[in-house]
Amino acid sequence: MKGSTLQLPMLPLLAAFVAGLIAEWLFEVPMAAAIICGLACYIFAIVGRRATHIALLLAFLFTGILFAQLDRPTNLPTLETHLTLELSIDEPPTDRGRYQSSSARIDRFRTSDGEWHTCNRRVLIWADNDSQITMGERVCLSATIRPIADTANSYSRLMEARGYIGRISIGSATPIVALGKTSSLRIASLRLQQTVFQRLHSTALEGDQLALCAAMTTGRRSEMSAALRESYARSGAAHLLAVSGLHVAIILMLANLLLRWVVLFERGHRLLDIVVLVAVWLFAAATGMAASVVRATLMFSALQLSHSIGGSYRSGNILAAVAMVMLAIEPSLLRDVSFQFSFVAVAAILYWAVPLQRAMRTRSSVVNFLIANIVVGFAASLATMPLMSFWFGRVSLIGVALNPLVILLAYAIITFSLAAIFLPTSWTWVAKIAGAAAEMMNRSVAVAAEMRGATIDFQLDWWAIPIFYAVAIAITELIRYVARKKSLSLQKHQFKRRM
């Protein structure tokens, strides 16, 4: 079966590893059993002569079980209990009107018996506007960790997957003891994000145009109104507001296009890869190094390198390998909606959009560009629809048709917003083009959100998601198999006629 997913050796291994993670979460397999069975399967896969592929898959399944066990949280603080907390505030406070919000990592906590416990979980912070909380500070305070309020249960699941255990409230009368400053790559990137945003704010952009451009180029969404956010959610275009795979892909394409002249130098193709990767990671840093951005940047960095290595199926293998490494480091990512959306969208583009785009290629580069955007938009939208239903209890029907248009506009918004940041502010026409594209997108999204039947409320069970993708892949492979049989039959018929 040439050309099938079976030629992607990392894909079944990734599936086995993921199955192991899920099996541990559901059944809590004893660690000793996972180690013994895993070692036995690895040994059989190495020295055995038959069924070695099955043994290797089982070995990766037990490896997934073991990694999930090692990721089990320990020393978790008890909710609804008054505790003394040592926190590292690693997010700038956002003004919410009557209060400000932020987040922090729990370094240590002390229980009522006076004993200190280390902890690597996070909390959301709701603080009065008079409270003095600053990004990059370590503080000690007394507070009660409460559950994350969520009527639909999807938001709390999302935050739990990202390491949050609850929220704390800080009043103006809450005693806060400063423990000093803390530094990290995340905090440095957030400061860079603030600098880039201030530069964008100094241009001719304003209002909802500035809010959208800032969200798509710096990852800062605090300027967006609640009504604008709801329009994007109802129209199925909310993914544009969070810097992730689409935005990194646009930066990757722009960098390859603008730096194509680098190949004129000696070993230019390798130099191009290096320069492009530097540009992509600088963009990730300027957007605050959010986890979703880092994951998308890792994936596309691997794909950029895969083009230099060559091979028809290297991209899919590298994507699966990167996903496995990321899950081995942090197994809880599997339950993170942004990881799921990023991986599924990129995989759908490689598996469905790229072959379809090649089949529809024309002699016109402009037509090819339009076809590519339409195909990519459809593939990513349809592939992520089950995840949208599971996490948010709604499916955007209009989003499938809207995505090709907003993706085209996203190219213009990101390109000219970045140009406005780097070019002199006197070049107001650059910012005006970005603003015009943002205005067109905002209006298109608002119109789509108001359409009758734009979204339907439907909650998909978790077990139905792998079944959906398995059926979709099986149908695709069957279609490709039939197409190859017809192609071979046609070639044989033509050969006989020539004879």
Choice between 318 and 327, residue whose per-residue pLDDT is larger: 327
Instruction: Spell out the residues 6+ positions from residue 489 whose beta carbon is closer than 8 angstroms to its own.
Output: none
Which pLDDT score, from 0 to 100, does residue 453 have? 76
**Rounded mean pLDDT of 489-493?**
70
Query: Is residue 140 within a helix (H) or strand (E), and if so which, with residue range?
Result: strand 137-144
pLDDT band at residue 75 under the 50/70/90 scheme:
confident
Query: Is pLDDT of 313 > 50?
Result: no
Nearest Cα neighbor of 239 from 148, 344, 335, 353 is 344
Query: Is pLDDT of 489 > 90?
Result: no
pTM above 0.95, yes or no: no
Query: Is pLDDT of 115 > 70?
Result: yes
Which pLDDT score, from 0 to 100, does residue 478 have? 93
Q: Of the given ranges (144-153, 219-228, 262-271, 279-288), which has the lowest mean pLDDT?
A: 144-153
pLDDT band at residue 457 under the 50/70/90 scheme:
confident
pLDDT band at residue 226 under the 50/70/90 scheme:
confident
pLDDT band at residue 3 under the 50/70/90 scheme:
very low
**Rounded mean pLDDT of 225-252?**
87
Which pLDDT score, from 0 to 100, does residue 240 have? 86
Query: Is pLDDT of 310 > 60?
Result: no
The mean pLDDT of the chain is: 87
SS3 at position 273: helix
Which pLDDT score, from 0 to 100, does residue 421 have? 94
**Rounded mean pLDDT of 352-381?**
86
Which pLDDT score, from 0 to 100, does residue 153 have? 58
Query: What is the percent of the chain where pLDDT is above 90?
Result: 38
Which pLDDT score, from 0 to 100, does residue 4 have? 40
Token pair of 271, please?
């130099």
Supply φ then ψ for residue 110, to 5 degrees: -120, 130
Which pLDDT score, from 0 to 100, does residue 487 have? 76
Which pLDDT score, from 0 to 100, does residue 19 have? 94
Domain ranges of the chain: 5-70, 82-182, 190-462
SS3 at position 396: strand
Query: Is residue 359 within a helix (H) or strand (E), and if so which, with residue range?
Result: helix 354-359
Which pLDDT score, from 0 to 100, does residue 32 have? 93
SS3 at position 84: strand
Which pLDDT score, from 0 to 100, does residue 260 have? 85
Across 13-98, the runs of DSSP E, i.e. the strands, are 82-89, 94-95
Query: Is pLDDT of 445 > 90?
Result: yes
Query: 404 and 372 in contact (C-beta within 8 Å)?
Result: no
Q: Which residue carries 């240590």 as its tokens?
A: 108
Which pLDDT score, from 0 to 100, does residue 451 have? 87
Query: Is pLDDT of 24 > 90?
Result: yes
Query: Is pLDDT of 395 > 50?
Result: yes
Choice between 51 and 13, residue whose per-residue pLDDT is larger: 13
Q: Is the CATH number of domain 82-182 3.90.228.20? A: no
Choice between 155 and 470, residue whose per-residue pLDDT is larger: 470
Which pLDDT score, from 0 to 100, does residue 37 have? 95
d(CA 196, CA 346) in angstroms, rounded, equals 28
**Contacts of 425-432 spanning 24+ positions with Cβ under 8 A:** 425/202, 425/203, 428/203, 428/204, 430/203, 431/203, 431/204, 431/205, 432/204
Query: Is pLDDT of 399 > 50?
Result: yes
Query: Is pLDDT of 257 > 90?
Result: no
Q: Of the given ranges (60-64, 168-172, 200-204, 390-394), which has the lowest mean pLDDT?
A: 390-394
pLDDT band at residue 6 under the 50/70/90 scheme:
very low
pLDDT digits (tens, 9 = 90+) for 158-196: 788 778 999 999 988 888 999 998 888 888 898 899 999
pLDDT digits (tens, 9 = 90+) for 40-61: 999 998 888 787 889 999 999 9
Distances (CA, A) of 275 to 264, 278, 442: 14, 5, 33
